[in-house]
Amino acid sequence: MSLNKPNEKIDWGIKKKDEVIEVVENLGDVLKSGNVDDVSKILQDKQLLRSFVIQKGEGGKNLQYLNELVDFVIKDEFGQNADILDIEGEKLISLLHEREIPEQVLGEMLSSAYHMHDRIKFFRIYSVIMENSEKLHNKELIEFANHDLASWYGSVEKDSDKSQKLNKEVLDSAKMKDLKIIATKAKFGITFNRDLKPKEKAQGFAEIRESMEAVEHHYDAHRARIEEIKALVELASRQKSQNEKEMRFENIDRAIALSKEVLDYAIKSGYSNLEVLAREAQALIAKETGDIRRSEQFSEKARELKEKYLYK
């Protein structure tokens, strides 16, 4: 049965960390074998594609493997000088259909380029998706790509206004098409870039977290927890008067509990970026409570993880 049938959807699930590690351990041999059918079979697993981006691996090796696998299929079809940067988008999509490779791979390649801050590849893949939107069976990929574009402008270009505008457009479109996860991801981007008071921001991200949990989208739910933690710590930092003392302690305790949940999930799931952010959150909490030594330890651990995972 074709993986690229009409009305195809994004599969947001990820595989267990051990399963991904097992696959990755054999990828070098698969690529050396020169068997395009074996490579195509790996790329047919949508949850594995998503896992490569979420579970980047040490040195970002899973992102590299994703790119190498797609590059292998392209070169097998179009010759050793062929490259995703210059192949015609229509031909690339036809190749994916022929090889039974889900169109979602384009979205994951786009996200990979975003994480690697590869501007040329990011905008090339974005153009392939948008210029061939009528040929795509997976229409959800349009909102996927536009949300990644909003993230690019917000995180890489530091243009929060443009990011906000794009995310609002994604939100409207996702709501119209009943794409709950993308709509909530867009809400995350909008809330992240809005100038809100700490209490409002904490409440906003708590609602986003609950929305993600409602559809069992756990890794982004934990990502929202990070922003909730930061907002709670900022709120606590402003609660210095005697009559606010109890509320301050409640907010700190809540932040500590959330940070433990996030770190446990990040390690168990292999969510590389989340592990970095969880350590940074712990450093922030420790600093607010006056434990400078532990804050510095957590910050050092975060720096080590950034180098390990090539976090940008």
Q: Residue 170: inside a domain, yes or no?
A: no
Q: Pick from 246, 244, 199: which is nearest to 207 by CA?
A: 199
Same domain, 52 and 126: yes
Task: Provide the pLDDT for residue 1.
Answer: 40
CA 179 from centroid of its chain's CA atoms? 17
pLDDT for 2 beyond 80:
no
Same domain, 226 and 128: no
Q: Residue 176: inside a domain, yes or no?
A: no
**Which helix (H) or strand (E) element contains residue 111?**
helix 104-115
Q: Residue 14: inside a domain, yes or no?
A: yes
- Which of 105, 138, 171 terminates a domain? The answer is 138
- Which of 98, 120, 138 terminates a domain? The answer is 138
Contacting residues for 300 by C-beta, under 8 A, at least 6 apart: none
Contacting residues for 13 by C-beta, under 8 A, at least 6 apart: 46, 47, 50
Task: Provide the pLDDT for residue 240.
Answer: 84
- Average pLDDT value over all residues in the chain: 95
Alpha-carbon span 199 to 228, nearest angstrom: 9
Side-chain-side CA neighbours of residue 117 (13 Å)? 8
pLDDT for 4 beyond 60:
no
Side-chain-side CA neighbours of residue 151 (13 Å)? 22
pLDDT (mean) for 242-250: 91
Alpha-carbon span 150 to 156, nearest angstrom: 10
Same domain, 40 and 114: yes
pLDDT (mean) for 235-258: 93
Supply 75's token pair: 């070169």
CB-CB contact of 282 with 259 (8 Å): yes
Please, what's the largest Cα pairwise distance for the chain? 72
Distances (CA, A) of 302 to 88, 123, 193, 280: 41, 30, 23, 6
Task: Provide the pLDDT for residue 5.
Answer: 61
Same domain, 115 and 202: no
Q: Residue 229: inside a domain, yes or no?
A: yes
Number of separate domains in the chain: 2
What residue numbers bound the domain in which 240 lies? 196-312
Task: Provide the pLDDT for residue 152.
Answer: 97
Same domain, 124 and 231: no
pTM above 0.85, yes or no: yes
Task: Provide the pLDDT for residue 6.
Answer: 61
Supply 198's token pair: 């700490």
Q: Lowest mean pLDDT: which of 38-52, 146-160, 236-250? A: 236-250
Task: Provide the pLDDT for residue 281.
Answer: 98
Same domain, 301 and 216: yes
Same domain, 125 and 204: no
pLDDT for 31 beyond 80:
yes
Same domain, 127 and 237: no
Task: Provide the pLDDT for residue 242.
Answer: 85
Side-chain-side CA neighbours of residue 108 (13 Å)? 33
Q: Residue 253: inside a domain, yes or no?
A: yes
- Which of 138, 155, 170 terminates a domain? The answer is 138
Q: Residue 173: inside a domain, yes or no?
A: no
Q: Which residue has the tokens 């330890």?
A: 297
Q: Residue 175: inside a domain, yes or no?
A: no
Q: Residue 150: inside a domain, yes or no?
A: no
Alpha-carbon span 6 to 178, nearest angstrom: 17
Same domain, 119 and 203: no
pLDDT (mean) for 255-276: 96
